[in-house]
Amino acid sequence: MEPILTIDIGGTAIKFGVADETGRFLQKGSLPTRIREKGVDAFLADLLFLARRVRKAFPITGIAVSLAGVINGDTGELLLPSQYFPGLHRMSLVNFFQKETGLPALCENDANCAALAEYWQGAGKGAHMLLCMTLGTGIGGALVHEGRLCRGASYAAGEVGQAHFGSPQTWENWASVSALFAEAEKKRNLAPGSLTGQDFFALVEKGEEAETLLLREWVDRWMVGIVSLAWIVNPDRIVIGGGISAQRKLLMPYLKAAFDAKMPAILTPHTTLSLAHFQNDAGMLGALYLYQQRRQEAGKRI
C-alpha cells in the first residue's frame, strides 16, 4: 500500500504522520489547533496546507482522520462536536479533504481510533470483545468486537463518559482526570489550572497523604464505571488509555487492587485490565487501521 496521511486532531494540537501499511511512520509532526482562536476557515486552511505540504514529499494515496466528537463513520459528518471544535457541527472533513485534494478520506471518533490501535498492535491485540476507555479532560470510550467497531444506531456507542453511574453527574464530570486535578487544587488552595498532572503524580510518589487518598478515591470512581460496563458488555479485555496511561508504574497497583476487589467473581477469570500501549500515536494508528480495513472491504476503493 502507498503511504497514507493520518491525522489526529486534538484540542491543542493537530498531530500528523505519514505511515505505511504496517503502521511504521515515515514522518511525524504537529501544528497548533487554531479553531478557537482563529475560527473554522483558518482551521481548514491549516489542514489543507498540511495535506499539500505532505503530498509534495510523499506519494500519499489517502487521508485518515481521528477527531473528538460523535461522528457518522460512514460520511465523516460531525454529529456532536467536542467543545474544542466550535463551528464544525454537521461538517464533514471527509468531503472537505476529498474535494480539496481529490484523495479518498475517512474521519472517525478519536476514542474509536485509539481502541482500534490497541486492538491492532497494542494492549487489546487479539481480544474478542475489547472495551477501551480514555481518561483525561473527559472520559471517552469505544467497543471493538472481532476487530470491528461497534458504533451503535446513532454512532454514539462507547460514549461512556456521558453515562450516569448512580450519580446525577455524568461519569466524566464526576470521575475525569481534570476533575481529579481540580479537587486536588481545592485542597491545596491553588488557582484553577495551576496543578499539572506531573505535579500531582509527583506528590503521590512522594507519599503525600492528601493526594494519595484522592487518587485512591478516583480509582474507585473509575472502577464504578468499569464494573458497570463489564456487566453490560462482558469484555475479555479492558484497556485504559489517555494521558493517565503514561503513569503506568505508579497507577497500575492502584488499578489492580481496585479491579480485584470490585469485579464480580464470575467475570474476573475472563476479563483482564491493562493500560494502553499507545499514547500520542493511538489516534493516528487507529485511523490508519480503519482506512486499510475499509480499503480491503471495498476492493481497494475506500
pLDDT in tens, 142-201: 999 999 999 999 999 999 999 999 889 999 999 999 999 999 999 999 999 999 999 999
- The sign of the torsion formed by the CA atoms of 264, 266, 267, 270 equals positive
- Cell numbers representing residue 140 in the block: 471517552
Mean of pLDDT values over 283-296: 95
pLDDT of residue 84: 82
pLDDT of residue 46: 97
> Are 240 and 254 contacting, i.e. CB atoms less than 8 angstroms apart?
no
> Are 130 and 239 contacting, i.e. CB atoms less than 8 angstroms apart?
yes
Please calculate the CA angle 219-223-224 and round it to the nearest 5 degrees. Answer: 120
Query: Shortest CA distance to 67 belongs to which of 101, 95, 92?
Result: 92
Query: Shortest CA distance to 239 belongs to which of 228, 249, 257, 252?
Result: 252
Please calculate the CA angle 98-104-125 and round it to the nearest 5 degrees. Answer: 135
Task: State the chain's mean pLDDT as an integer.
Answer: 94
Per-residue confidence at 302, pLDDT binned at 50, 70, 90?
low
Give Cα separations from 177 to 188, 195, 214 (angstroms).
17, 12, 11
State pLDDT tens for residues 242-264. Answer: 888 889 999 999 999 999 999 99
Domains and CATH numbers, the chain: 4-113+280-297 (3.30.420.40), 127-275 (3.30.420.40)
Q: Is the pLDDT confidence value at 120 over 60? A: yes
